[in-house]
């Protein structure tokens, strides 16, 4: 009996009308093979697909569902908002409350502009940085993913790595020429790029925790070194915390590393499954954004009342339940259990983790760079992915994506994940 028959039929239908059958590339399973499961519903930490298969979910929509699927307080907030209207094209009180909530939690974000996605947030932050500095060039890091804006699709991570095309056709050569790239965790290389392009770099964009090549943490002193180099060279430091923001800590990762960026981009958790993003930072920089200043950026659905309601509810619940301590405990429990299984079975693997984000690399050496991630055993990951799925645990369908936990992943669910991991490796 084919337990994925309906999903396979839907994929065949989708391919006739949707490029590759999916609306975001990594969903196509090019990194692991096979047919993606089409989902029907989610509750707590579990998903059910159209064939009736149930999974413990470690994807969580790639991070935003920090309280799990269909959290009752988030649902109630969205339903109340929807009953009043789904969009207005006019300001609402909820937008003000969201901006206040972000600024209170992240002091470096003195002013905030809401947008519709993480990609919009990073594109807008780059335009603003160029306007503020009067410079054109961007410095990013290999494997860091900042959305699908043209300037960022040079040595990008996430789905671009999964499909084997980190540089996208359609990006004009002139745009790519203004994007400079350095190895992540290599301060000397960053200093050399600044030296080679004096007074030309508008901003350094960095995922403070690289989450789109799998999870790679910053080396000691790396982020502080970036802050120093940006200050010395008149460039803005931009933290892309779309993935880490409000997930790894109440004040984002910058509250952990104690490095203050000039601009920050966030998303995911502040929509808890609905489309939203934001960028913000220094008041003198943000006041250049229209209509306060001349840097144009607009969006009819920016600050959408449903998305804002979901995000405010999620942030409130996270505060009330002191969720980050619980998420840290859950992440540590899963990491320790996985490491024990790999050791017991004699499998070379690295479990990289920060709070409730983690990744498994099948590698005998620590993974601290893109090169090390790319050198990991991708065939082993493919087998592990399908073994886990067959035992009721859904992983991201790529070795270059982070896994996520929610407050709904209780001890029972974590132990079931570990049981599935042991069985998948038999």
**What's the pLDDT tens digit per position in 47-98?**
999 999 999 999 999 999 999 999 999 999 999 999 999 999 999 999 999 9
Largest CA distance in the chain: 64
In sign, the C-alpha dihedral spanning 360, 361, 366, 369 is negative
Whether residue 266 sits in one domain with residue 277: yes
Residues 153 and 217 in one domain: yes
Asked whether residue 384 falls in the same domain as residue 309, the answer is no
Q: What is the pLDDT of residues 169-228, one digit of tens each?
A: 777 777 778 999 999 999 999 999 999 999 999 999 999 999 989 999 999 999 999 999
Q: Say yes or no: 369 and 409 in one domain.
A: yes
Instruction: Determine the pLDDT at residue 1.
Output: 77
Do 240 and 371 sit in the same domain of this protein?
no
The alpha carbons of the chain give a radius of gyration, in whole angstroms, of 21
Q: Which of 297, 319, 341 is the last residue of a domain?
A: 319
What tens digit of pLDDT does each residue of 22-31 get? 988 888 888 8
The boundaries of the domain holding residue 44 are 5-70+323-424
Cβ–Cβ under 8 Å, residues 50 and 42: no
pLDDT digits (tens, 9 = 90+) for 7-21: 999 999 999 999 999
* Shared domain check, 21 and 104: no
Residue % of the chain over a pLDDT of 90: 88
Which of 319, 346, 379 corresponds to the end of one domain? Answer: 319
pLDDT at 162 over 80: no
Number of domains into which the chain is organized? 2
pLDDT at 215: 96
First to last CA, the chain: 22
Asked whether the predicted pLDDT for residue 158 surpasses 70, the reply is: no
Instruction: Indicate the residue among 273, 293, 319 that finishes a domain.
Output: 319
Give me the mean pLDDT over the 149-156 stretch.
74
Supply the CATH number for residue 171's domain. 3.40.640.10
* pLDDT the model gives residue 163: 42
pLDDT of residue 395: 98
**Which residues, including other chains, have CB under 8 Å from residue 139's CB and lie 6 or more apart?**
180, 181, 182, 190, 193, 194, 201, 203, 204, 205, 235
- Mean pLDDT over the full length of the chain: 94
346 and 255 assigned to the same domain: no
| pLDDT tens by residue, 295-315 | 999 999 999 999 999 999 999
Type and span of the H or E element at 27: none
Dist CA 423 CA 337 (whole Å)? 13
* N residues, the chain: 426
Distance, C-alpha 52 to centroid of its chain:
28
The verdict on 128 and 249 lying in the same domain is yes
**66: domain CATH number?**
3.90.1150.10
Catalytic residues: 145, 240, 268
Give the per-residue pLDDT at 151: 82
**In a shared domain, residues 77 and 226:** yes
Round to whole Å and give the CA distance between 265 and 249: 15
Please tell me whether residues 330 and 312 are part of one structural domain: no
pLDDT at 155 (0 to 100): 64
| Integer Cα distance of 226 and 262 in angstroms | 12
54 & 102 share domain: no
* Residues 251 and 102 both lie in one domain: yes
Instruction: Describe the crossing of helices 222-233 and 187-196 by its angle, rounded to 10 degrees.
Output: 10
Which residues touch 401 (CB under 8 Å, ≥6 apart)? Answer: 26, 62, 158, 162, 212, 214, 359
Distance, CA of 267 to CA of 245 (rounded, Å): 7
d(CA 69, CA 82): 18
User: Could you report the per-residue pLDDT of 366-407, keeping only the tens digit for each?
Assistant: 999 999 999 999 999 999 999 999 999 999 999 999 999 999
Range in 105-119, 138-152, 238-252, 388-402 with the lowest mean pLDDT? 138-152
Looking at the DSSP bridge assignments, the partners of residue 354 are 357
pLDDT recorded at residue 152: 85
């Amino acid at each position: 009996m084919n337990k994925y028959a309906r999903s396979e039929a839907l994929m065949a239908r989708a391919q006739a009308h949707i490029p590759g059958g999916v609306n975001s590339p990594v969903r196509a399973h090019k990194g692991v093979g096979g047919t993606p499961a089409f989902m029907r519903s989610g509750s707590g930490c579990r998903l059910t697909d159209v064939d009736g298969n149930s999974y413990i979910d470690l994807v969580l929509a790639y991070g935003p569902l920090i309280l799990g699927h269909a959290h009752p307080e988030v649902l109630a907030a969205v339903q109340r908002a929807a009953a009043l209207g789904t969009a207005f094209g006019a300001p609402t009180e909820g937008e003000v409350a969201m901006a206040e909530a972000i600024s209170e939690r992240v002091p470096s974000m003195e002013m905030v502009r809401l947008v519709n996605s993480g990609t919009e947030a990073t594109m807008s932050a780059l335009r603003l940085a160029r306007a503020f500095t009067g410079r054109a060039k961007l410095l990013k890091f290999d494997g860091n993913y900042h959305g699908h804006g043209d300037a960022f699709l040079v040595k990008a991570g996430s789905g671009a790595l999964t499909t084997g095309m980190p540089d996208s056709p359609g990006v004009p050569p002139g745009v790519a020429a203004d994007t400079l790239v350095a190895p992540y965790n290599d301060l000397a290389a960053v200093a050399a790029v600044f030296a080679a392009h004096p007074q030309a770099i508008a901003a350094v964009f960095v995922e403070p925790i690289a989450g789109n090549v799998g999870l790679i943490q910053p080396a000691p002193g790396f982020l502080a070194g970036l802050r120093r180099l940006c200050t010395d060279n008149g460039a803005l430091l931009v933290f892309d915390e779309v993935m880490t923001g409000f997930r790894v800590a109440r004040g984002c990762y910058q509250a952990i590393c104690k490095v203050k960026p000039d601009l920050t981009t966030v998303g995911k958790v502040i929509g808890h499954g609905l489309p939203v993003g934001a960028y913000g930072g220094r008041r003198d920089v943000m006041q250049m954004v229209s209509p306060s200043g001349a840097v144009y950026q607009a969006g009819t659905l920016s600050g959408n009342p449903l998305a804002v309601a979901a995000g405010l509810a999620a942030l409130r619940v996270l505060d009330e339940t002191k969720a980050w301590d619980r998420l840290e405990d859950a992440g540590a429990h899963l990491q320790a259990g996985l490491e024990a299984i790999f050791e017991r079975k004699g499998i070379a693997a690295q479990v990289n983790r920060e709070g409730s984000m983690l990744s498994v690399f099948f590698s005998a050496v620590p993974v601290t760079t893109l090169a090390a991630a790319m050198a990991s055993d991708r065939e082993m990951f493919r087998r592990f992915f399908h073994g886990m799925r067959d035992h009721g645990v859904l992983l991201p369908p790529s070795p270059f994506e982070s896994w996520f936990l929610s407050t709904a992943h209780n001890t029972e669910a974590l132990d079931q994940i570990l049981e599935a991991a042991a069985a998948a490796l038999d």
